[in-house]
Amino acid sequence: NPWFSYQHDAGFEPVGSNLISVLDDGHARKKEDPAANNRGQVWKLDEAAHTATLQHNADLGVYSVAVGSAQSLKNGGYTFEAGFIDPASPYSRAVETSADGKVIYAQQVEGLIVYRSFRVADLYSAPVK
């Protein structure tokens, strides 16, 4: 069961694009493959045809046992939060991916569980509505 973060109109995706961004927790894959990581994914939904087409798929390089988020970015990429890595010594990691799914940036926070994180353009401008 992946966590869903529907990107309705965050100013980056057109209304009606039927895109859904997902932090795939990977629990079922982890049972089969202990080396499996979380994935950041974007799916395009076609409700009339009852289909979902994978648009973006990024291995986040870590496995978070719980909590996380997904966000589309203006540059066509995405950022994903893997929020609870290693329960024995918790840390979290925010991972930014390019439009083609490659990891281009990661920020790790030691000693904390991060429920969700969001990128902002800067610390001084009001968020886009």
Within 13 Å, how many C-alpha atoms sit on residue 51's CB side?
A: 4
- Predicted confidence at residue 6, as pLDDT, reads 39
| pLDDT < 50: residue spans in the chain | 1-12
Q: Distance between CA atoms of 20 and 67, rounded to whole angstroms?
A: 17
- Predicted confidence at residue 16, as pLDDT, reads 66
- Predicted confidence at residue 111, as pLDDT, reads 94
Per-residue tokens: 24? 């795939």
- Predicted confidence at residue 121, as pLDDT, reads 76
Q: Distance between CA atoms of 62 and 114, rounded to whole angstroms?
A: 14
- Predicted confidence at residue 125, as pLDDT, reads 80
Q: Distance between CA atoms of 80 and 58, rounded to whole angstroms?
A: 10
Identity of the residue numbered 36: A
